[in-house]
Chain A
Amino acid sequence: MNGTASANEDTRCAVSSARHIHANPLHAVVHHRSLPGRHVHRMTDAPVVEFCGVEKRYAGSAVAAVAEVSFAVQRGEFFSLLGPSGCGKTTMLRLLAGFETPDRGSIRILGEDVTARRPYERPLAMVFQQYALFPHLDVRRNVAFGLEQRRLPAAEIDARVAKALELVRLDPAQFGTRKPAQLSGGQRQRVALARALVLEPPMLLLDEPLGALDLQLRKAMQTELKALNRQLGITFVYVTHDQEEALAMSDRIAVMNGGRLVQLGAPAEIYESPRTAFVAAFIGETNLLDGTVGELRGALREVHDAQYRIWCVPDRPFLREGAGVRVAVRPEWLDLCRPDAVPPGENALHGTVRDVIYLGETLHVVVDVGAAEPMRVALRNEGVLQNPFAWRIGDAAAVAWRPEDAEVLEG
C-alpha cells in the first residue's frame, strides 16, 4: 500500500477527474445520501479522498485558510495532515467532514463529488479534539447514537455497540452505563473512537485526538490507533501538530504551512529529504546554513559563504553557479571531532563548544562555528559520567558531515 501511495503522490486533478468521467459504471448507482447501516466496501479504483484545487477563505480574513490544495488519499492509508497551529490543517479536516464548504475546488470521497453535501450525507466518521461525547448519554447510548440515526433494529445496535466497545478494549458490562463525566481522559478517548468505529465507515477523521492525553497514554494510543487502521482496513485521516506522532503513525504525511500543502510523502521522505527549509525545520531539528553555489568539482558542488566552504551532492536542478541556497543537516548526522581529527572527505566547520545539553538518550552539543546560527550536534549518549572525553563548554571542536548527508534547499 505504501508503494502505490507514494507512486500516486502527485495526483493531478485533471488526470483524476478525467478518469472518473469514464470511471466504471458502479459510480452511477452508488448513493451515500441515505447512509446504509453497514458500509459495503465497494470495489472501486477511486481514491478514498480527492481534493482538487480546494480553497477556503473565512469571512473577514485577508489570507486564505486553505489555498490551492490538491491531493489524494488511498484506501486503507494512514494519512496525516501536519503543521503548526493556523496552518490550515484543521480547516482541511472540516472541509473534508463537510462543516465548511470550499470557496473553490472540489472534494471527492470514493470517487463521488461531495463538495455540496452536508456532513450527515458523507460516508465518514470523526473523532473530535475534545471527544465531544454527549454528556447526557451513557457510554452505550453515546456509541449507539450513529446507529440509532440509521434506524437499525435494537438487537443489531446492541450487538454492534458491544463489539465496538470491545474493539477499543472497554468492558461493556463495566463501562456501558457510565456517563462521560465518570470516565478518565483515556477512557473518553476510547468511547469517542468506538462511537466512530461502530459505524464501520470507509474513512475515519481524527482531529488531534491524543492532544489531551499524557505522554505514556499517548504513546500507547498511537500504537493502538495504528493497529486499528491495519486491522480494520479503514482509511485514517489524522490531523496533528506533533511531528513525532505523525512520523510514528503515518503511511504518508501532508505538511502544511500558511494554508498550503508544502510537501507530501512518506515519513522517511519528509524527514530525510525535506523540500523546503520550513519542512526541514518543522519536522525534527535541523541546522541551516545559507550560502552561494560555487564550482562543480568531480561529483560534488561547492557552496560557500564568507565563513565557510562546503561540498554538496548536486542532485537538485536549482544548483546553478551563483544561486543562493540553504544547506540543511540533521543534528544526528553530524559528527563532532577534535579539530585535528576530521575524517577525510567530510565537510568540517571549526568552532567552540558553547553548550552541552544532556537529554538522556542523546547529548546535544551546541557549537559556535561563526555562522549566523550555532550548529547543534546530536551525539548518542555513551555515558557522560564515565567518559573522560566528554565535551565541555569552551572546547575547540570541528563539526563534520559527509556531503551526501546534507540536503540542499532553494534559498
Chain B
Amino acid sequence: MSARRRLLRWFAARAPARAWALLTPTLLFLLVLYFVPVGLMGVYSVLERGTYGGVVWRVTGAAYAQFLDPLYLRILGRSIAMAAASTVISLLIGFPLAWAIARSGRWRRLLLFLVVLPFWTSFLVRTSALLFLLREDGPINAALLALGLIEAPLALLYTPGAVLLGLTYGYLPFAVLPIYASLEKLDPALLEAAEILGARPWARLRRVVVPLAMPGVVAGALLVFIPALGAFLTPDLMGGAKDLMIGNLVHNQFTSARNWPFGSAASTILTGLTLAGVLLYLRQREARDA
C-alpha cells in the first residue's frame, strides 16, 4: 500500500482528525492575523504611552480614564449614530431593491451583477469619485445652478450628510446581498396562501415577507453597521473637522498623536461594544425562538 493510500485510509476512519485537518489553515490564519493583534491591542490599552509612540510596559488605566472625557464620548456617540443611520438607510434602500431583484425573473443575474459592480474598483477610488460629484464646482451644484434652483453653490462636501452618503454608498451592497439571498428562498406559495387568507399587500409584507427575510436583514444590518462604525476613510475624505468618527480618532492616536495606549483603548471599546451588541441580539433571538 502506498503512503498516500495509507494516509487516506487513516483519515477515512477518523472523522474528528479529518475535521481538524481541514480547519487548521483557517485557525492558524485567525490566530496569527486576528487573535494575536487584537490581544496585543488589549494589552497595549492598559500600558503607558511612550514619548515618541510605542508603549512603556507599566500597567495603568489612564487610557480608559481619558476616554471618559465628554469630548471622546461625543465622538463615540456620533459614530454610533452615524453608523446606525447609514444602516437604516441601507436597509430602507436595500430591502425593496433586493425584493425587486428576487422577483425580476431573467433580469436577476444582470441586476445582481450591477449591485456588486462597484467592488470592481477600490473603495478609495469610489469615495474620491463621490468627492468630485459633491464639490462646489461639481456636477450637482452645476446642474442646480443651471436650473436656477440655487444662486450660489451649496456646500455639500465636508458635512455630516456627505459622510452619511459616503458610508451608505460604500456599504449598501453588503445589505442587499444577504437580504436578496433570504428573499430569493421565499416560497411564492406562502404569499399566495397569505393572500387567499385575506392578507392585503401591506399585511403580506409585514406578516410573511419581513419575518422570513429577517435572518438576511440582520446579517445585512450587521455587515453595514460594523464597518460603518469603524470607518475612517469616508469621514476623513468627506467629513469636516466636526465629523470626526471613532475610526479617525484611533487612526490619529497611532499616527500624529503618537498615543498608542489611548488608540488601543478606543479600539478595544469599539470592538467590545460591537461584540456585546451582536451577542445581545443573538441571545434575544434564541430566547424568542425557544
A309 within 8 A of B: no
B189-232 contacts to A (CB < 8 Å): 189-190, 192-200, 203, 207-208, 211-212
B187 within 8 A of A: yes
The interface residues of chain A lying within 8 Å CB-to-CB of B190 are: 132, 134-135
Q: Give the interface segment out of A63-71, A105-113, A144-152.
A: A144-152
- Asked whether, in the complex, the Cβ of B198 is within 8 Å of the Cβ of A135, the reply is no
A208 CB to nearest chain B CB (Å): 12
- Asked whether, in the complex, the Cβ of B196 is within 8 Å of the Cβ of A97, the reply is yes
A318 within 8 A of B: no
- Asked whether, in the complex, the Cβ of A146 is within 8 Å of the Cβ of B192, the reply is no
Which listed residue (B195, B207, B208) contacts A119, Cβ 8 A? B195
- Asked whether, in the complex, the Cβ of A119 is within 8 Å of the Cβ of B203, the reply is no
The interface residues of chain B lying within 8 Å CB-to-CB of A136 are: 211-212
A126 within 8 A of B: yes
How many residues of chain B get a CB closer than 8 Å to chain A's CBs? Answer: 17
> B-facing mask of A56-99, CB < 8 A → 1, else 0?
00000000000000000000000000000000000000000111
A131 CB to nearest chain B CB (Å): 8
> A-facing mask of B62-80, CB < 8 A → 1, else 0?
0000000000000000000
A41 CB to nearest chain B CB (Å): 19
A275 CB to nearest chain B CB (Å): 34
A365 within 8 A of B: no
* Residue of B with least CB distance to A192: B193
- Asked whether, in the complex, the Cβ of B207 is within 8 Å of the Cβ of A124, the reply is no
* Residue of B with least CB distance to A136: B211
- Asked whether, in the complex, the Cβ of B193 is within 8 Å of the Cβ of A128, the reply is yes
Which listed residue (A35, A122, A132, A199) contacts B193, Cβ 8 A? A132
Which listed residue (B199, B211, B212) contacts A120, Cβ 8 A? B199
* Residue of A with least CB distance to B210: A136
- Asked whether, in the complex, the Cβ of B197 is within 8 Å of the Cβ of A99, the reply is no
The interface residues of chain A lying within 8 Å CB-to-CB of B212 are: 135-136
B283 CB to nearest chain A CB (Å): 19
Most chain-B CB neighbours within 10 Å: which of A35, A98, A126, A132?
A132
- Asked whether, in the complex, the Cβ of B189 is within 8 Å of the Cβ of A125, the reply is no
A38 within 8 A of B: no
The interface residues of chain A lying within 8 Å CB-to-CB of B195 are: 99, 118-120
The interface residues of chain A lying within 8 Å CB-to-CB of B208 are: 134
A142 CB to nearest chain B CB (Å): 9
> B-facing mask of A272-296, CB < 8 A → 1, else 0?
0000000000000000000000000
> A-facing mask of B167-206, CB < 8 A → 1, else 0?
0000000000000000000010110111111111001000
With A132-B187, A136-B212, A145-B207 as given contacts, are A126 and B193 in contact (CB-CB < 8 Å)?
A: yes
With A145-B207, A149-B203 as given contacts, are A120 and B198 in contact (CB-CB < 8 Å)?
A: yes
- Asked whether, in the complex, the Cβ of A126 is within 8 Å of the Cβ of B196, the reply is yes
The interface residues of chain B lying within 8 Å CB-to-CB of A118 are: 195
A195 within 8 A of B: yes
How many residues of chain A get a CB closer than 8 Å to chain B's CBs? Answer: 25
With A128-B189, A128-B192 as given contacts, are A146 and B211 in contact (CB-CB < 8 Å)?
A: no
A130 within 8 A of B: yes
The interface residues of chain B lying within 8 Å CB-to-CB of A135 are: 190, 212
- Alpha-carbon distance A128/B195, docked complex (angstroms): 12
- Asked whether, in the complex, the Cβ of B196 is within 8 Å of the Cβ of A145, the reply is no
The interface residues of chain B lying within 8 Å CB-to-CB of A130 are: 187, 189
The interface residues of chain B lying within 8 Å CB-to-CB of A126 are: 193, 196
- Asked whether, in the complex, the Cβ of A125 is within 8 Å of the Cβ of B192, the reply is no
- Alpha-carbon distance A43/B195, docked complex (angstroms): 27
The interface residues of chain B lying within 8 Å CB-to-CB of A97 are: 192, 196
B104 CB to nearest chain A CB (Å): 16
- Asked whether, in the complex, the Cβ of B192 is within 8 Å of the Cβ of A145, the reply is no
* Residue of A with least CB distance to B200: A120
Can you list 22 contacts pairing A with B, beta carbon distance less than 8 Å?
Answer: A35-B198, A97-B196, A119-B192, A119-B195, A125-B196, A125-B197, A126-B193, A128-B192, A129-B189, A130-B187, A132-B187, A134-B190, A134-B193, A134-B194, A135-B190, A135-B212, A136-B212, A145-B197, A145-B199, A145-B207, A146-B197, A199-B197
Q: Which residues of A contact B (CB under 8 A)?
A: 35, 97-99, 118-120, 122, 124-126, 128-130, 132-136, 145-146, 149-150, 195, 199
Q: Which residues of B contact A (CB under 8 A)?
A: 187, 189-190, 192-200, 203, 207-208, 211-212
- Please name the 9 residue pairs, one residue from A and one from B, whose CB atoms are nearest each other, closest first: A149-B198, A146-B197, A132-B193, A132-B189, A119-B196, A119-B195, A136-B211, A120-B198, A126-B196
